[in-house]
Structure 1
Amino acid sequence: MAEEKRVPPHRRMLIWLVLQWILQVIFGIWLRYRARHEERLPAQGGGVLVSNHQSFLDPLLIGLPLSRPISFMARDSLFRIPLLGPFLRYTYVIPISRRSASSTSFRAAIENIENGNLVGIFPEGTRSEDGEVQRFKPGFLALLKRTDAAIYPIGIAGAYQALPRGAWFLHPRAVRVVYGEPIPAATVKEYCARGAEKDLLALTQERVIACQREAAIWLDPESQD
């Protein structure tokens, strides 16, 4: 984390804006990228974005139509990969250990939310093996209990086909992203206050699955039959 803090904020934002523009062009052409309901995300203020996880593209796909960056949590081993590591540090990614959620990463996520920033999480823990939404892990609920933030469910379809597990090249497949209705901070607080974290987890997964299905039908209307 110390290495991340040495990146000047103005330079970081400039690099993010340049990368955002480049990726919008590339993904718009190569992946025929489309998104809907991004207006459901707050223009300012903190929040927790929760999405299904189909490929390594997902953080980029979720943030593509937005005018503000998202701090996604990614495993710390990725930061040791040449070229990818510096890229992650310049794009607001928070490193986290897959063996145990480090207190440093946890505090960084809380600080981001309290400072009015968006934090992105993939509760499945790893990329889906078949493109379907896998069972959510409850670890992110601890973050919600420590913050006053709403949950913003997101569904992705097509990313699994565009960059499946083991693929080295980006396939020209269409991708759709749907931003769902948020679960308000007051509702999150209510669930946590009465010890109903399991119900909150189930509700969050249900909302993400609904978004993913909407994205899949948008991508392939015949899948509705």
Structure 2
Amino acid sequence: MTAELGSPNRRNCLWWTLQVLMKNVLGFWLRYRARGLDRIPELGGGLILSNHQSFLDPLLIGLPLQRPVSFLARDTLFPIPVIGWILRNTYVMPLSRDTGGAAGIRETIRRMEEGFLVGVFPEGTRSHDGKLGDLKPGFAALVRRSDLPIYPVGIAGAYRALGKGSLFLKPCPVCVVFGEPIPPHQIAPLKQRGREQELVETVRNAIAACQTEAEGWLQNRANRQA
């Protein structure tokens, strides 16, 4: 546990307050729902890997959890008044492109080893159509350098609510599915040199399964309301 971050298992006051406020807002406006929360343990570090549809995604992932999640954001956002303060106090880590992301990787590893959940979007950018794109291999460095579980997540509907290029939040239903964890022993053989693509495909398939489940859940809700 670090003094500046507090406990990896308990939310600070700002995080808790934002959760209370946004649960009501997004629950009403987006009819936001999440499932599979029992797959996220109360204790221990790990890597949350999710598809990326919207600027809302970090909030959608962190909103239903009873413990904080650290995400990465551009370091240029941190000097901005108010925004920087919010980022620092909601466990966000600065990512500098000048250093090639090396400092961000080190900080990510450090937080996971100290028991934090860290969220990463391995596509590297938001989807323009809501479909899961190719995963950038950079996230594999985090996997190889840690011996912690991977928690795949699938988001559906967020690109309609606030997709790439959108300026306003639309009242579209959104679902998030937390998938079955991938334990370290299952990933260990894929860390070997020459098996990088297998590692990427294993993670991509897990995320895709979660997204498919989330999309099916949305469709079932739409059918019931028709």
| Structure-1-length-normalised TM-score | 0.89
Q: Tell me how far apart the structure 2 counterparts of residues 212 and 200 of structure 1 sit (CA, whole Å).
A: 19
Shift in CA distance, 167/83, structure 1 to aligned 2, threshold 3 Å? farther
Deviation digits for residues 24-78 of structure 1, max 9, x if unmatched?
1111111101011111112110100000000000000001110000001222233
Q: Tell me how far apart the structure 2 counterparts of residues 215 and 185 of structure 1 sit (CA, whole Å).
A: 25
1:137 aligns with 136
Give the counterpart letter for 2:187 in structure 1.
Answer: V
Matched, 1:66 2:92: no
Identity %: 51
3-state SS in 1 of match to 2:78: helix
Kindly indicate whether the alpha-carbon contact (under 8 Å) linking 2:154 and 2:177 is maintained by their aligned counterparts in 1. yes
Q: Tell me how far apart the structure 1 counterparts of residues 206 and 79 of structure 2 sit (CA, whole Å).
A: 34
Q: Tell me how far apart the structure 1 counterparts of residues 79 and 156 of structure 2 sit (CA, whole Å).
A: 29
Deviation digits for residues 75-105 of structure 1, max 9, x if unmatched?
2233344433222111111111346543321
Kindly indicate whether the alpha-carbon contact (under 8 Å) linking 1:7 and 1:90 is maintained by their aligned counterparts in 2. no
Shift in CA distance, 134/80, structure 1 to aligned 2, threshold 3 Å? farther
Give the counterpart letter for 2:161 in structure 1.
Answer: A
3-state SS in 2 of match to 1:95: strand
Show the 5 A alignment for 1:77-96.
Answer: 77-96=76-95
1:41 aligns with 40
Q: Tell me how far apart the structure 2 counterparts of residues 197 and 117 of structure 1 sit (CA, whole Å).
A: 25
Once the two structures are overlaid, the 10-residue window that deviates more, 62-71 or 81-90, is 81-90
Kindly indicate whether the alpha-carbon contact (under 8 Å) linking 2:71 and 2:118 is maintained by their aligned counterparts in 1. yes
1:26 aligns with 25
Deviation digits for residues 85-137 of structure 1, max 9, x if unmatched?
22211111111134654332111101111001101000010110111111000
2:207 aligns with 208
**Structure 2: runs of 5 or more not aligned:** none
3-state SS in 1 of match to 2:123: coil
Q: Tell me how far apart the structure 2 counterparts of residues 99 and 136 of structure 1 sit (CA, whole Å).
A: 22
Give the counterpart letter for 1:161 in structure 2.
Answer: R
Kindly indicate whether the alpha-carbon contact (under 8 Å) linking 2:96 and 2:103 is maintained by their aligned counterparts in 1. no
Q: Tell me how far apart the structure 2 counterparts of residues 26 and 96 of structure 1 sit (CA, whole Å).
A: 29
**Structure 1: runs of 5 or more not aligned:** none
Q: Tell me how far apart the structure 2 counterparts of residues 101 and 123 of structure 1 sit (CA, whole Å).
A: 16
Deviation at residue 139 of structure 1 after TM alignment: 0.4
Q: Tell me how far apart the structure 2 counterparts of residues 181 and 9 of structure 1 sit (CA, whole Å).
A: 28
1:116 aligns with 115
Give the counterpart letter for 2:67 in structure 1.
Answer: R
Shift in CA distance, 78/126, structure 1 to aligned 2, threshold 3 Å? farther
Deviation at residue 217 of structure 1 after TM alignment: 1.2
| Structure-2-length-normalised TM-score | 0.89
Q: Tell me how far apart the structure 2 counterparts of residues 26 and 136 of structure 1 sit (CA, whole Å).
A: 31
Q: Tell me how far apart the structure 1 counterparts of residues 139 and 56 of structure 2 sit (CA, whole Å).
A: 21
Flag the structure with higher helix content.
1
Shift in CA distance, 91/80, structure 1 to aligned 2, threshold 3 Å? same
- Moved segments of 4+, more than 6 Å: none
Q: Tell me how far apart the structure 2 counterparts of residues 17 and 25 of structure 1 sit (CA, whole Å).
A: 13
